[in-house]
């Protein structure tokens, strides 16, 4: 199931990590070695925790009356010059910006996250 994410154009690697304080590597596929996959999983876990706090504060601003869709945080993207990192729940993938469609990647992560 997780390996299917690699079929999306531009996806370089995908990592599943436990959503706990250890952010243990569960599985990975693609062009990363185990050490890099562990680092990416740890980074994704830490970044998710930080962003969840920010999303909670942002939700309190009530920029859109009645809007409650900012929390819980569902996913995030960090876009670099040539590559991006996309994460959803306990999954994170590395993508090539010229080849990947980020919305397609996030949709597939969403579909996959709760099926594995």
- pLDDT tens-digit series, residues 12-43: 999 999 988 899 999 999 999 999 999 999 99
Give the domain 2-113 fold: Beta-Lactamase (3.30.450)
Check: pTM over 0.85? Answer yes or no: yes
Q: pLDDT by residue (tens digit) across 57-81?
A: 887 776 666 666 677 888 999 999 9
How far apart are alpha carbons 59 and 69 in whole angstroms?
A: 8
Question: Domain map of the chain by residue range?
Answer: 2-113
Give, in order, the Cα–Cα distances in Å from 65 to each of 38, 52, 54, 74, 94: 40, 20, 19, 20, 35
């Amino acid at each position: 199931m997780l390996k299917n994410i690699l079929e999306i154009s531009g996806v370089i690697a995908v990592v599943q990590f436990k959503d706990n304080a250890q952010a243990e590597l569960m599985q990975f596929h693609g062009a990363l070695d185990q050490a890099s996959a562990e680092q990416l999983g740890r980074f994704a876990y830490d970044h998710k925790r930080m962003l969840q706090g920010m999303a909670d504060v942002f939700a309190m601003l009530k920029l859109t009356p009645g809007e409650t869709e900012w929390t819980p945080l569902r996913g995030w993207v960090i876009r670099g010059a040539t590559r991006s990192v996309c994460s959803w729940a306990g999954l994170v993938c590395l993508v090539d910006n010229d080849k990947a469609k980020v919305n397609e990647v996030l949709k597939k992560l969403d579909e996959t996250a709760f099926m594995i």
